[in-house]
């Protein structure tokens, strides 16, 4: 990590520490107990892994509103696959594969039709949600119990935290490396920062964008797998509005909707901030509406601070 | 306007300019690109504030702090790019911001009947009642849209009408109609400032002409008594300071061959060790030609050979074939301002920094640091966002990209626009070095587009003039003068 990106991320880190201290004081010492931290990590994992995908999309100057629907579709596909007697790893792959196809379709539509990503993914958000409901016949899909359901279960064994959390950490490391150490990563930031320059420089804009949305699909599929583990059924109505939480995590983490900026570390801190507020409010006995207002304020403050900082940079 | 000054950073864009225009007079404002016309008009229209000087309208002091204040004071600008709301009707556009309202509605309800009448009256005043107030602005022809803009200016009671290159997108018949209209407005007592590159237009329509050069008044007078030749002499001025040191260069192998290329009607060849200049006005089609040549704009017809192979395709193929472009639009196309210097500099060729799609940031930084040092780019580190650098340093990054890629053919579009003198001199030296070649690097071929004639005369071996979308055959620079080039670029024999 370079000096500059450390400075860039300091704001988010300060916010994270402040929120953690605040709720530590409000709730008490037990807020920092390992069990409670693990609870928060489990809670954050689904939004977090999807937000890592969204970070890539937003850094490339796009947006993906269909992630909530993709999560639902993934749970349904996994449940249906398990029901037909497929092995758990195959079922998980089927689910993630379906999510990848959704991302691929998003990417192809955006590049081939040259329609803005907001509109395309608004459309596919409805289409994928509808497809999930159709496949599930508008019901929850019961599935036989397998080890997939243990992905987010507390593990007292050598792993310390649930397997699912390790999966999120692994995905974060891989994507952070891809963004920083690959040509694909440099190209997608170039597209997000200035698409005309990217074109001038001979960056293959279409294929890069398609890859970006497909990657987002895969990571959202992983989020769907974790969602399935949490629910242990396929639920076509799960994750409605999740795209907004996911986008919020990226924005709080320093991503810019105008593209060219965003980092995995920032996004993970953003997701952590939102989760601490959620769990903290719940444990303090504050109503859900308080929690929503606080989260909303954090988003606006984060973006406002960011504007001030980038204005100073000019 | 009296003694108006304006500086941008170290650049003195206006250095005590005077401009006067009387009611019922059409005043032509001419000068080469960068002479300060746009800055002067931006000050007149309230978009910029002058550092010094005073302005008066009808004898009263006038110091607009915004375009809205300028409009209220009666100064209206008609820009080259029209600024209508294309989805609204003609009458809504004409009375935008000044909509008549119904009596007793506390100015809340629009009085559509009054609006239609007032808009129709404004159009009739222009002698163009053929345009319906109910037409959708975006569906009108460009000439008609321009009329709607002029009608809007009149509807708000404008005293001084400023037209910036109004004929650039008009056909010949429309130009005639516009001139008729201007004469009509003049008869009605309007003051008109007419800015144009085309001297024949200035001769045809204006009463008086004011020439700017390097941010100063360079002369002027009654249009009838001033010849085109005299105007060009005022525009060009004395020979510029010696910024150019040209060495003896040996033309080598042919690396670019262009034949019957459209857009641009261009045919020429370019050899290693040669610098070819394209002179022409902004909007003459030179940028479109260059972009098409690089695969960024559509090619209609023609043949291009880079090196020994025939060529077509996008920018990617051109980089691979050994051709690179520096865009004239540094901020919107040349660079990604949000990204660091190193990313901007090496974007076209990341392959050397690691195997199979991997980019090692430290190797990328080392490569960038080499160029940063060699070109004297002032930045705190290779990760510093390009936005934080000065224009001159940004431009050096855009040029360094071509050096990093090690292209054989450099296409440079206005490579020194809007940058400070010392960066300019460095870029000139660099171009010279590239064309000469060094022991370890063979000479390059350079194609420069510029509207600054001394630059072309100082750098180029041959110069071709782009005239209304057609590139004239290149001629040896040694036999050309700035006067000739300006005359050729501003004249328009094809239209006469």
Residue-wise DSSP of B129-162: TTS-TTSBGGGS-HHHHHHHHHHHHHHTT-SEEE
Confidence of residue A89 (pLDDT cuts 50, 70, 90): very high
Where does a domain end: B209, B236, B263? B236
C-alpha distance from B395 to closest chain A C-alpha (Å): 13
Instruction: Let me know whether B320 and B392 are in one domain.
Output: yes
Query: Does the distance separating the beta carbons of B314 and A194 come in below 8 Å?
Result: no
Instruction: Let me know whether B262 and B231 are in one domain.
Output: no
C-alpha B253 chain-centroid distance: 34
A189 touches chain B (CB under 8 A): yes
Query: Does the distance separating the beta carbons of A200 and B327 come in below 8 Å?
Result: yes
Determine the pLDDT at residue B242.
Answer: 56
Task: Please tell me which of the candidates A2, A3, A200 has its beta carbon nearest to residue B333.
Answer: A200
Q: How many domains does chain B have?
A: 2
Instruction: Let me know whether B213 and B285 are in one domain.
Output: no
Confidence of residue A21 (pLDDT cuts 50, 70, 90): very high
CATH number for position B296: 3.40.50.300
Domain for residue B310, yes or no? yes
Confidence of residue A314 (pLDDT cuts 50, 70, 90): very low
Cα A154 to Cα A43: distance, rounded to the nearest angstrom: 12
Instruction: Let me know whether B319 and B232 are in one domain.
Output: no
Q: Averaged over B392-407, what is the pLDDT?
A: 93
B363 touches chain A (CB under 8 A): no
Task: Please tell me which of the candidates A186, A199, A313 has its beta carbon nearest to residue B296.
Answer: A199
B219 touches chain A (CB under 8 A): no
Instruction: Let me know whether B201 and B130 are in one domain.
Output: yes
How many Cβ atoms sit within 10 Å of the Cβ of residue B356?
A: 7
Query: Does the distance separating the beta carbons of B333 and A194 come in below 8 Å?
Result: yes
Q: Express each pLDDT in B117-141 by its tens digit.
A: 888 888 888 888 788 888 898 888 8
B121 touches chain A (CB under 8 A): no
Instruction: Let me know whether B408 and B488 are in one domain.
Output: yes
A185 touches chain B (CB under 8 A): yes
- Indicate whether A232 pLDDT > 70: yes
| Residue pair A246/A50 in contact by the 8 Å Cβ criterion | yes
| Residue pair A186/A62 in contact by the 8 Å Cβ criterion | no
Task: Please tell me which of the candidates A184, A197, A261 has its beta carbon nearest to residue B335.
Answer: A197
- Choice between A1 and A262, residue whose per-residue pLDDT is larger: A262
Instruction: Let me know whether B223 and B359 are in one domain.
Output: no
- Indicate whether A159 pLDDT > 80: no
As a CATH number, domain A3-307 is: 1.10.3470
Mutant choice from A9, A182, A194, A206 vs B, greatest count of B C-beta within 10 A: A194
Cα A193 to Cα A13: distance, rounded to the nearest angstrom: 24
Confidence of residue B2 (pLDDT cuts 50, 70, 90): low
Task: Please tell me which of the candidates A187, A196, A260 has its beta carbon nearest to residue B333.
Answer: A196
Determine the pLDDT at residue A8.
Answer: 60
- Indicate whether A81 pLDDT > 90: yes
Instruction: Let me know whether B304 and B345 are in one domain.
Output: yes
Closest to A54 (Cα-Cα) out of A167, A194, A217:
A217
| Residue pair B457/B450 in contact by the 8 Å Cβ criterion | no
Task: Please tell me which of the candidates A180, A194, A313 has its beta carbon nearest to residue B361.
Answer: A180
The residue segments making up the domain with residue B482 are 254-495
C-alpha distance from B420 to closest chain A C-alpha (Å): 19
Mean pLDDT (chain B, rounded): 85
Domain for residue B246, yes or no? no
Instruction: Let me know whether B209 and B297 are in one domain.
Output: no
Q: Averaged over A77-81, what is the pLDDT?
A: 96
B361 touches chain A (CB under 8 A): yes
Query: Does the distance separating the beta carbons of A197 and B359 come in below 8 Å?
Result: no
Domain for residue B439, yes or no? yes
A242-252 and A288-313 helices, crossing angle to 10°: 40
Domain ranges of chain A: 3-307
Domain for residue B488, yes or no? yes
Instruction: Let me know whether B232 and B259 are in one domain.
Output: no
Where does a domain end: B236, B271, B299? B236
Q: Express each pLDDT in B256-288 by its tens digit.
A: 999 999 888 899 999 999 999 999 887 788 889
Q: Express each pLDDT in A192-214 by its tens digit.
A: 999 999 999 999 999 999 999 99
Determine the pLDDT at residue B495.
Answer: 38
**pLDDT winner (highest mean) among A18-32, A100-114, B21-35, B49-63:** A100-114
- Indicate whether A237 pLDDT > 60: yes
Which residues in B lie closer than 8 A to residue A196 (C-beta atoms)?
329, 332-333
Cα B406 to Cα B442: distance, rounded to the nearest angstrom: 10
- Indicate whether B379 pLDDT > 60: yes
Mutant choice from B314, B329, B351, B359 vs A, greatest count of A C-beta within 10 A: B359
Instruction: Let me know whether B334 and B473 are in one domain.
Output: yes
Q: What is the ipTM of this complex?
A: 0.83
- Choice between B287 and B71, residue whose per-residue pLDDT is larger: B287
Q: Which residue of B has its CA nearest to A190?
A: B336
Q: Averaged over B346-364, what is the pLDDT?
A: 92
pTM of the predicted protein model:
0.81
């Amino acid at each position: 990590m370079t000096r500059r990106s450390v400075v860039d991320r300091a704001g988010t880190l300060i916010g994270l520490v402040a929120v953690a201290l605040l709720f530590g004081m409000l709730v008490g010492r037990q807020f920092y107990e390992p069990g409670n931290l693990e609870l928060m990590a489990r809670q954050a994992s689904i939004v977090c892994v999807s937000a890592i995908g969204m970070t890539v999309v937003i850094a490339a100057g796009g947006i993906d509103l269909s992630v909530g629907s993709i999560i639902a579709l993934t749970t349904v596909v996994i449940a249906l696959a398990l029901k037909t007697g497929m092995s758990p790893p195959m079922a998980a792959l089927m689910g993630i594969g379906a999510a990848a196809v959704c991302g691929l379709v998003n990417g192809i539509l955006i590049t081939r039709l040259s329609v803005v990503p907001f509109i395309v993914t608004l459309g596919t958000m409805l289409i994928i949600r509808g497809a999930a409901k159709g496949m599930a016949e508008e019901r929850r899909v019961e599935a036989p119990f397998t080890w997939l359901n243990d992905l987010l279960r507390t593990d007292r064994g050598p792993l310390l935290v649930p397997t699912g959390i390790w999966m999120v950490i692994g995905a974060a490391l891989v994507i952070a490396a891809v963004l920083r150490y690959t040509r694909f990563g440099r190209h997608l930031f170039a597209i997000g920062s200035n698409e005309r320059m990217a074109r001038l420089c001979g960056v293959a804009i279409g294929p890069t964008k398609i890859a970006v949305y497909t990657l987002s699909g895969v990571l959202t599929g992983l989020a769907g797998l974790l969602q399935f583990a949490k629910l242990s059924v396929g639920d076509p109505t799960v994750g409605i509005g999740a795209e907004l939480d996911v986008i919020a995590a990226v924005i709080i983490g320093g991503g810019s909707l105008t593209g060219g900026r965003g980092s995995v570390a920032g996004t993970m801190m953003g997701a952590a901030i939102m989760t601490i507020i959620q769990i903290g409010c719940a444990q303090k006995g504050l109503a859900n509406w308080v929690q929503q207002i606080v989260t909303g304020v954090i988003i606006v403050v984060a973006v406002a601070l960011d504007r001030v900082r980038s204005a100073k940079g000019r | 306007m009296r003694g108006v000054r304006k500086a941008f950073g170290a650049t003195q864009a206006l250095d005590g300019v005077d401009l006067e225009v009387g009611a019922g007079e059409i005043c032509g404002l001419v000068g080469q690109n960068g002479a300060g016309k746009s800055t002067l008009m931006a000050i007149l229209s309230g978009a910029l504030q002058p550092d010094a000087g005073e302005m008066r309208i009808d004898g009263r002091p006038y110091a607009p702090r915004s375009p809205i204040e300028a409009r209220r004071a009666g100064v209206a600008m008609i820009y080259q790019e029209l600024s209508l709301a294309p989805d609204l009707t003609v009458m809504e556009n004409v009375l935008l911001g000044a909509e008549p309202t119904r009596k007793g509605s506390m100015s809340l309800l629009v009085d559509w009947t009054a609006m239609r009448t007032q808009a129709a009256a404004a159009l009739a005043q222009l002698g163009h009642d053929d345009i319906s107030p109910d037409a959708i602005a975006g569906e009108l022809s460009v000439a008609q849209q321009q009329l709607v803009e002029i009608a809007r200016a009149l509807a708000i009671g404008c005293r001084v009408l400023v037209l910036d290159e109004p004929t650039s997108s008009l056909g010949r018949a429309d130009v005639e109609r516009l001139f008729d209209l201007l004469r009509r407005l003049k008869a009605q007592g309007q003051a008109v400032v007419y800015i144009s590159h085309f001297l024949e237009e200035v001769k045809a329509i204006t009463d008086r002409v004011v020439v700017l050069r390097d941010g100063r008044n360079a002369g002027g007078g009654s249009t009838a008594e001033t010849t085109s030749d005299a105007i060009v002499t005022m525009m060009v001025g004395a020979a510029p300071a010696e910024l150019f040191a040209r060495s003896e260069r040996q033309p080598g192998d042919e690396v670019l061959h262009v034949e019957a290329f459209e857009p641009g009607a261009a045919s020429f060849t370019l050899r290693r060790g040669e610098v070819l200049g394209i002179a022409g006005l902004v909007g003459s089609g030179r940028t479109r030609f260059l972009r098409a040549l690089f695969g960024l704009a559509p090619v209609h017809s023609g043949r291009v050979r880079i090196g020994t192979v025939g060529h077509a395709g996008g920018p990617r193929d051109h980089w691979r074939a050994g051709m690179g472009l520096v865009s004239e639009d540094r901020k919107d196309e040349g660079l990604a301002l949000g990204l660091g210097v190193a990313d901007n500099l090496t974007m076209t060729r990341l392959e050397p920094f690691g195997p199979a799609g991997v980019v090692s940031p430290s190797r990328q930084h080392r490569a960038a640091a080499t160029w940063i040092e060699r070109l004297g780019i002032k930045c705190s580190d290779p990760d510093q966002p390009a936005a934080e650098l000065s224009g001159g340093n940004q431009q050096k990054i855009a040029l360094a990209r071509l050096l990093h890629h090690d292209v054989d053919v450099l296409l440079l579009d206005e490579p020194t626009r809007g940058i400070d003198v010392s960066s300019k001199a460095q870029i000139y030296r660099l171009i010279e070095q590239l064309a000469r070649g060094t022991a370890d690097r063979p000479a390059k071929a350079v194609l420069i587009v510029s509207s600054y004639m001394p630059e072309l005369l100082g750098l180029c071996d041959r110069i071709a003039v782009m005239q209304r979308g057609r590139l004239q055959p290149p001629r040896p620079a040694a036999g050309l003068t700035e006067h000739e080039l300006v005359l050729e670029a501003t004249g328009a024999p094809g239209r006469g």
